[in-house]
Amino acid sequence: MTKLSININKFATLRNSRGGDNPNVLKAALDAERFGADGVTVHPRPDERHIRYSDVREIKQAIKTEFNIEGNSQEQKFVDLVLEVKPAQVTLVPDALGQITSNHGWDTIAHKDYLVDIISVFKNAGIRTSIFVDPDVRMVEGAKATGTDRIELYTEGYAKHFAEKKEDAIRPYVEAAKAANELGLGINAGHDLDLQNLKYFAQNIPGLLEVSIGHALVCDAIYLGYENAVQMYKRQLQ
């Protein structure tokens, strides 16, 4: 079954908006695994506007499920943190400084040399690597040449067009996933996946290992309750 990793950034955003420690980010991570999540994802940014670097260190010491840290590897502070904490997985995202949210995958051809170098840094430290990739077979083929263990399919395009015609929306992702499988790359996915579109995506993407979901799940938790929301997302993946 495809694993569910919960991105807890939004808990940190809410905490930081008021100051103090409510909601407690470490508790959000521990509750995620207690409620049935297969992993916890965080995306620290240089300005620490949501997840703080101290949160990352604290979470790593406490959780027992898989820990995934995603972020911009062109920031040395991020690289140093990942090498210090040594999560199970690092996901490399081509963010610009100050970017509100990730909005595209790597050009794995244009940035091949850079990706080869930085991926080797993490893999030499025993950390599984994944890189954000758009659903483009050429980019998937380029990803193979970088030495990454996995790709994470950036799913905003799928989510945006799902309600119009889901068959068209998912087609490039299926083609990208088939290419990844043929090349021996693991497949993760994330961005704007929710209770409406997740099941169809998971049923149609061959070899889907993991989805990372944060914003939609936290929004649903406000109405449905955190534990219930986690379980509802898990059921979409069965």
Name the residue with tokens 């949160």: 55
What domain range includes position 46?
Answer: 3-236
Convert the pLDDT of each residue in 141-170 to its tens digit.
999 999 999 999 999 999 999 999 999 999
215 counts as catalytic: no
In the set 43, 50, 66, 210, the catalytic residue is 43
C-alpha–C-alpha distance, residues 95 and 144, integer Å: 21
- Mean per-residue pLDDT, 122-141: 98
Convert the pLDDT of each residue in 162-183 to its tens digit.
999 999 999 999 999 999 999 9
26, pLDDT greater than 90: yes
- Let me know: does 92 contact 128? Beta carbons within 8 Å: no
Total number of domains constituting the chain = 1
Instruction: Assign residue 158 the CATH number of its domain.
Output: 3.20.20.70
Q: Give residue 61's identity as a one-letter amino acid code.
A: Q
Q: How far is residue 13 from each of residues 68, 86, 100, 141, measured CA to CA in Å?
A: 18, 24, 12, 36
pLDDT band at 104 (very low <50, low <70, confident <90, very high): confident
pLDDT band at 99 (very low <50, low <70, confident <90, very high): low
Token digits of residue 3: 């694993």
* 61-75 burial code (b ≥16 CB/10 A, e <16): eebebbbbbbbbbbe
167 counts as catalytic: no
- Let me know: does 62 contact 26? Beta carbons within 8 Å: yes
In the set 33, 50, 191, 210, the catalytic residue is 191
191 counts as catalytic: yes
In the set 33, 66, 70, 152, the catalytic residue is 70
pLDDT band at 61 (very low <50, low <70, confident <90, very high): very high
